[in-house]
Structure 1
Amino acid sequence: MKKKQKLHTSFFIIFFLFLIASILSGCHQQKSNQSPKQKELYTNQLIPLTVNEKQFEKIVGWLNNKTIVYIKHLKEESYVYSYQLETGASSLLFKCNDAIKNVIISPDRKKILVQTAPSTYLAKLYLMDSKGKILFSKEVKSYDLSYDWNENDPNILAISVFYEDWTFDVFTLDVNDVSLTKHHFSDPFIKWFGKDVVLFQKWDKRADQVDAPLVSYPMNNPKGQKILLNNIYQFDTFDDFLLTITLDPKENATYHFYNKSMDEQSSFQVPQFSQLKDGLIPYHDFEMKENTFITFVPSENESVDLDEGHFKLVQYNTLKKAENVVFNQLPNEPLSCSPNGKVCLYGFQFEKLVDLQNKKIIPLVKMAKKKEQ
């Protein structure tokens, strides 16, 4: 099986496992008394989120340096809340009788997109502001969706629509006029690189490929499409920064960092990448203000298992070309760093907090077994 097909298969299986059909019903906006944005979270003042263990779904991300967003469910209703980590105050932003499939916070943290599942083959999207005011809703026929929000223009996001047979269409959604524009790409996993350009890999479906060319596609000039780089294993974008991963003959990996002009700023090598399964790469994030990339790195001279703790958590400054090991032994689990990059949500439900400065991990969720009042 082709490595890219394995990656897509894993992606689809994960989506399928989390897909729930629920009772058709309406959803409602909620008022919020969210606290104003504050500068920095002091982890010794943090109040863990207390929630019933049967109702907690997951934390989804940051509204600001001290406020997170989380999902819970109760019987046939689903809820989205904001939570202030130093006061312990929760504010209801959204509730719905349909299952909530996904919640995504915009790059400027002023908008929140909620994807619900009224039925197996229908998604309903709600866009609201950070206080819970619904700006619009829109139905999209699909089996599942993936997103990439434009960091340079938060009014535009790319939506890849997957159907039951795993064919796909790619659209851009303009939140100003709620319009969907269809585009034609050979790969659904596109990433914005600047305001008007998207990147994707051009895989040959007839070949057993480990890597593929990276293609640049100007949205306002399709004829300007061109190959940026060849032999790319995986890639990601962070605002105007491009990350590519290449493999050497021994299948160790090199992370390369490029600016908007495609000048390579720095690179570093990671061992034993060949042992990672199905083309998956370790979880990572990028803190733009400090030019710091954070990722899990397989430990040398040890067997790599994604389910075990054989990873180092490493910060890499792309300008200073300096590496800092935060932890030597941790499981490879999702990361999402705060806007100032001081702490990161960590875990498959973002139920933990990594304090990067003090090098400690703090439980972020306290499970209550009694029914909440």
Structure 2
Amino acid sequence: MKRVFWVVCIISCFLIGCQSPPHPKEVSNAPALSNQEKQKPFNPSNFQNEPLKKLSLPFDQFTTVSEWLNDETILYIANEGTGSVVHSFHLISGETDVFYKSEELIMSVEANKTYDMLLVRSAVSATEGKLRVLSDKGEELAEWTFDNSIDLVYSWNPFSAQQLVVSSFKEDWSYDTFLLDVHDKSMVKKDVADPFVQWLPNEEIGFIDWNHEMPDLEAPLYAENLGTEEKRELKESVVMFHTYDNLLITVGSVDDVGIASYSFYGFPELKEIQTYKAPLLTSYSNYFIPYYDFVDNTKMFYTFESTRAGNADGYSDGFQLISFDSTSGEKKVLAKDLENTPLKCSPSGVYCLYGYQLEQIIIPSTKEIVNLVELS
């Protein structure tokens, strides 16, 4: 049953993250943004009264907005022939620049916790994947190729900033998991119990120990030492978990009417810092977890919430965007009647990209939602 769950998750991620979006284009006749300008210290007060520029793009080239380069600059992917180009775009000046070019189609760009390295995933063919790590100047630092691979699932290490764990799926949905190190360009295969793992402190990884023989909605959260392969239980029953620098977030303890606990724990003691309740929808034999993001610098958690528990297939009431301060425990509703789509906040949390192609911007401080991309 959990094999079915993996397939559903992977297909859903592929459809959301890799499809070609409604198509924008590259800004023409805009001055290039120098590396020196990109590295100016960020001052949130400079943005308070500054209107955001629109990213005007050609209909047949745009793929997606993909990542933040810094608080002032986003990275977006455009098609060019059989390859792709990653461009930078400054939100206040409207300046654009070519950040990186690839002869292969680029599917995603994802920064590490310090935003000084970016992981670029590209598709060499239907059965071969490639990962490259770039510096924040667009320079290639490392590269790995995955043969007999139809999909890749990966996670940056939030504790070292230069390591990754990657699971590569084959056509029969079996998988191999590897530890990648940017510094020495190494790739070490590891035998792990679940392909969807997250880093933990002290060279451990975490995984949910799903029962593969019987369907279950919750399962224990385990830690596994990468050196000794010793396993230990961290939490008795969870639905989802995610690790950040000094923080573990779990969703679990769902009651009989579908209300779950979102819990926040500090490393290394795993002492509960905060918790709040929210309704969950069910999908197939699993709970449906809405999109979310966490801003390390402000300790703010952002996610979508359904208005009630129930079945996801028949749900049409829309979602509300909420913010939760993991320090104070304050929860706020920022917007209502939204779609549950990908969400990616800037390093300081001043802005959050929103939408299936991250084509809109949410401003948490004012609760505004503005269009970033204009198609032509």
Q: In the TM superposition, what is the alpha-carbon distance from 1:161 to its structure 2 partner?
A: 0.9
Which one of 310, 326, 337 corresponds to residue 334 of structure 2?
A: 326
* 1:128–1:43 distance in 2 versus 1, CA, 3 Å: farther
- Partners in 1 of 2:170 and 2:315 — Cα distance? 30
The answer as to whether partners of 2:288 and 2:312 remain within 8 angstroms in 1 is: no
- Partners in 1 of 2:130 and 2:281 — Cα distance? 39
Aligned counterpart, 1:82: 88
Give structure 1 stretches of 5+ with no counterpart. 21-30, 369-373
Aligned counterpart, 1:145: 152
Aligned counterpart, 1:26: none
Q: In the TM superposition, what is the alpha-carbon distance from 1:265 to its structure 2 partner?
A: 1.0
Q: In the TM superposition, what is the alpha-carbon distance from 1:299 to its structure 2 partner?
A: 1.2
Aligned counterpart, 1:116: 122
Give structure 2 stretches of 5+ with no counterpart. 20-31
1:248-268 deviations in Å (ceiling 9; x for gaps) = 122221111111111011111
Structure 2 residue 43 is matched with structure 1 residue 39: yes
What pairs with 1:246-265 in structure 2 (closer than 5 Å)?
246=252, 247-260=254-267, 261-265=269-273
- Partners in 2 of 1:57 and 1:235 — Cα distance? 29
1:269-297 deviations in Å (ceiling 9; x for gaps) = 112x1445543301111122322211111
The answer as to whether partners of 2:114 and 2:161 remain within 8 angstroms in 1 is: yes
The one-letter code of the counterpart of 1:186 is: A
Q: In the TM superposition, what is the alpha-carbon distance from 1:298 to its structure 2 partner?
A: 1.0
The answer as to whether partners of 1:191 and 1:236 remain within 8 angstroms in 2 is: yes
- Partners in 1 of 2:49 and 2:128 — Cα distance? 41
- Partners in 2 of 1:274 and 1:302 — Cα distance? 5
- Partners in 1 of 2:298 and 2:220 — Cα distance? 29
1:186-245 deviations in Å (ceiling 9; x for gaps) = 11000012352211011121111111110012223322x200111211111222211111
- Partners in 1 of 2:318 and 2:311 — Cα distance? 8
What pairs with 1:210-289 in structure 2 (closer than 5 Å)?
210-223=217-230, 225-246=231-252, 247-260=254-267, 261-271=269-279, 273-276=280-283, 278-289=286-297
- Partners in 2 of 1:345 and 1:274 — Cα distance? 24
Q: In the TM superposition, what is the alpha-carbon distance from 1:356 to its structure 2 partner?
A: 0.6
* 1:191–1:322 distance in 2 versus 1, CA, 3 Å: same
Aligned counterpart, 1:177: 184
Q: How many residues align?
A: 354
Cα RMSD of the aligned pairs, angstroms, is 2.3
Q: TM-score, normalising length from structure 2? A: 0.88
The one-letter code of the counterpart of 1:290 is: T
- Partners in 2 of 1:208 and 1:77 — Cα distance? 42
* 1:360–1:304 distance in 2 versus 1, CA, 3 Å: farther
Aligned counterpart, 1:290: 298
Q: What secondary structure sits across from 1:279 in the alignment?
A: strand
Q: In the TM superposition, what is the alpha-carbon distance from 1:108 to its structure 2 partner?
A: 1.0
Q: In the TM superposition, what is the alpha-carbon distance from 1:348 to its structure 2 partner?
A: 0.8
Which moved further from structure 2: 117-126 or 173-182?
117-126
Which moved further from structure 2: 191-200 or 303-312?
303-312
Percent identity between matched residues is 30
- Partners in 2 of 1:301 and 1:187 — Cα distance? 28
Aligned counterpart, 2:23: none
- Partners in 2 of 1:172 and 1:72 — Cα distance? 30
Structure 2 residue 5 is matched with structure 1 residue 7: yes
Q: In the TM superposition, what is the alpha-carbon distance from 1:147 to its structure 2 partner?
A: 0.8
* 1:167–1:14 distance in 2 versus 1, CA, 3 Å: same
Which moved further from structure 2: 298-307 or 6-15?
298-307
- Partners in 1 of 2:146 and 2:118 — Cα distance? 17
Which moved further from structure 2: 273-282 or 111-120?
273-282
Q: What secondary structure sits across from 1:45 in the alignment?
A: coil
